[in-house]
A and B are shown apart, each in its own frame.
Chain A
Amino acid sequence: GENVEQHPSTLSVQEGDSAVIKCTYSDSASNYFPWYKQELGKGPQLIIDIRSNVGEKKDQRIAVTLNKTAKHFSLHITETQPEDSAVYFCAARSRRPGGSYIPTFGRGTSLIVHP
């Protein structure tokens, strides 16, 4: 099955700096890569996603890049703000033996933005 590795587990930056979180996946057939943000005491929420036929996608201060050959994708946050502090999860959607497409999550990155 799919295996998703996420690094780093903790990331501490100063307000205004950029933050990069990286993920690798094992199943070359994975075709959809969402990123989730989990604020304290809440469930994860989708913030950006990318399909396997796209190399980069941007939404204001956040962007995601995908390298299919290397099987890795990254989340980039520019001009970080204290409210960006949260746990971020990457995921890769792959086909399970029964035929269903199910996401596999990384272990999460705790981002801390210091004012």
Chain B
Amino acid sequence: EAQVTQNPRYLITVTGKKLTVTCSQNMNHEYMSWYRQDPGLGLRQIYYSMNVEVTDKGDVPEGYKVSRKEKRNFPLILESPSPNQTSLYFCASSFGTGVNNEQFFGPGTRLTVL
């Protein structure tokens, strides 16, 4: 089944404790991205990657890191999480960014930073 998977789905952690949220897709997509969703603010892009070893900042990159060492994986890293990073996170992928390149979203990771 073609899908985007994220792990963990739920995470409660404490301020300053490094964490990684994994994202993997099995559709051979080149483009992958991370979003955070907050009430009243919709989906805001954190980072995106056009291909292996190519990453770029989105609209809200502060406090986050990403890497793209393999085409299928795009982990999101919080080196020192803070309470304002409590949010619902989505990973997405598509073949490219041209028209008719549907973005497929993962199921989401709900992160709480105490």
Residues of A at the B interface (CB closer than 8 Å) are: 1, 6, 9, 31-32, 34, 36, 41-46, 49, 51, 89, 93, 96, 98, 100-108
Contacts and interface: CB of A to CB of B under 8 A. Distances in A.
B40 to A, nearest CB: 6
Contact of A32 (B33, B59, B99): B99
Contacts of B34: none
Contacts of A43: 4, 90, 92, 105-108
Contacts of B100: 49
Given A101-B98, A102-B58, 6 more contacts: A9-B40, A43-B106, A44-B43, A44-B90, A49-B102, A107-B40
Contact of A42 (B43, B56, B97, B108): B108
Given A45-B105, A102-B48, A93 B43 contact: no
A48 B23 CA distance: 25
Interface residues of B, number: 26
A41 B9 CA distance: 10
B13 interface: no
A43 to B, nearest CB: 3
B42 A6 contact: yes
Contact of B97 (A9, A102, A107): A102
A43 B34 CA distance: 12
A100 B48 contact: yes
Given A100-B97, A102-B58, A107 B42 contact: yes
Nearest to B42: A107
B50 interface: yes
B102 A46 contact: yes
Contact of A93 (B35, B58, B97): B97
